[in-house]
Amino acid sequence: MDPRVEKIRREFKPKVKPIEWRGDKLVLLDQRMLPFETRYVEARTVEDVATAIRDMVVRGAPAIGITAAFGMVIALSEKTIDNIDDALKTLSLARDILSKTRPTAVNLFWALDRMYNKALSLVSTTSSVRELREGLEEEAKKIFEEELEAEIRIGLYGAELLEDGDTVLTICNAGGLATGTGLGTATAPIYVAKMMGKDVSVIAPETRPWQQGARLTVYELVNNGIRTTLIADTALGLVMYKRMVDIVMVGADRILLDGHVFNKIGTLNEAILAHEFGIPFYVLAPTSTIDPKSNVDSVKIEERDPDEVRTVRTSQGKVYVTLKDIQVYNPVFDVTPPKYITGIITEKGVATQPLSVNLRKLLKNI
């Protein structure tokens, strides 16, 4: 056991708890209401869990995976199931419902597969539905714990790249709200560097249309004592041209073995600009975000409600900023080709160029 990991686990005290498992239900911090209101949503059924993911009460690739994993436990608690065959049918149905919530973040499918495979291995040794449920609850808790451990390691690798006085540019929210742990992926090095006594500040683009940067990243970083400057997405080029950014750190929703990275819409713009201005561009994610099966054309980029673009979210609710019926194209993720990426930081280490070779090497160590 690495003593540095234990030290961070002991000392990092996040101010927010986005996901809490209470034995029979999930209590989720409603991220749609932040930063204006701290409200919680309870999920007691598979449908509740699916709605919470679809409507973005809970969002961010790892947090979606963790929530879905507990959703599989909830599936076995919703009604009385008296035999293992019915339990497996219920789990299969739950997996189906949950997998249709959001298409891009691979952590969702990774967590559902892991939970279903765990169920299959448990039923080879038990015919008790109660034991099956207990085993699955253990597995979901393990997924949650492993995520925090991965983020601490990502934080340690990433913090080595940060110098005292550096400014990090990020995008969206790849912080503790997006992973459920309070630490995050792209934010982990910033928190770890701070714990090491380095003064690191952040530039956060607002991240239209959902404004994860303006509403979540700013809220989270400021609450954790990090100096943060919010910019309009349109200011990205200028802050890099003016050398206000030392390094870019972003999260990921899906990383392909050839090094293509799917992440929040706007990541591609940042990557191209960083490449042009010679600023290192790092992607930070647990290995559960690596998808060894898909290719760049087979990944579905989610498109969401046109009203997300026609409106802005305010403390008073949604406000239209354009014609209410204007035609809209609203893809909420994009894909960054490997040539723009300096390195991918995972809990297993840092894959640098050529990514298609070095990502495979990292996975071999799993």
Question: Residues annotated in the binding site, as ranges?
Answer: 59-61, 102, 212, 263-264
Smallest separation (angstroms) from ligand MRU to the CB of 192: 15
The SS3 of residue 78 is: coil
User: Can residue 60 be called a binding residue for ligand MRU (CB under 6 A)?
Assistant: yes
Out of 48, 166, 233, 253, pick the active-site residue: 253
User: Can residue 313 be called a binding residue for ligand MRU (CB under 6 A)?
Assistant: no
Smallest separation (angstroms) from ligand MRU to the CB of 308: 10
Q: How far is CA 231 from the centre of its chain?
A: 21
Quick note: the x/- pattern for ligand MRU over 105-144, rule CB under 6 A, is x---------------------------------------
- Interacting residue with ligand MRU among 90, 185, 211, 224 (CB under 6 A): 185
Quick note: the x/- pattern for ligand MRU over 236-255, rule CB under 6 A, is ---------------xxx--
User: Can residue 174 be called a binding residue for ligand MRU (CB under 6 A)?
Assistant: yes
199 is catalytic: no
The SS3 of residue 19 is: strand
Decide whether 212 or 224 has the Cβ nearer to ligand MRU. Answer: 212
Cβ–Cβ contacts within 10 Å for residue 57, how many?
23
- Interacting residue with ligand MRU among 194, 264, 310, 348 (CB under 6 A): 264
Who's near 174: CB < 8 A, 6+ residues apart?
60, 184, 185, 186, 187, 249, 250, 251, 252, 284
Q: How far apart are CA 46 and CA 231, in angstroms?
A: 38
Rounded alpha-carbon distances, angstroms, from residue 74 to 134, 252, 265: 11, 27, 32
Q: How far apart are CA 191 and CA 186, in angstroms?
A: 10
Q: How far apart are CA 73 and CA 255, in angstroms?
A: 27
User: Can residue 332 be called a binding residue for ligand MRU (CB under 6 A)?
Assistant: yes
Quick note: the x/- pattern for ligand MRU over 22-51, rule CB under 6 A, is ------------------------------
Who's near 357: CB < 8 A, 6+ residues apart?
none
Q: How far apart are CA 254 and CA 252, in angstroms?
A: 6
User: Can residue 52 be called a binding residue for ligand MRU (CB under 6 A)?
Assistant: no
Q: Which residues bind ligand MRU (CB under 6 A)?
A: 59-62, 105, 172, 174, 178-179, 184-185, 212, 251-253, 263-264, 332
Q: Which residues are catalytic?
A: 253
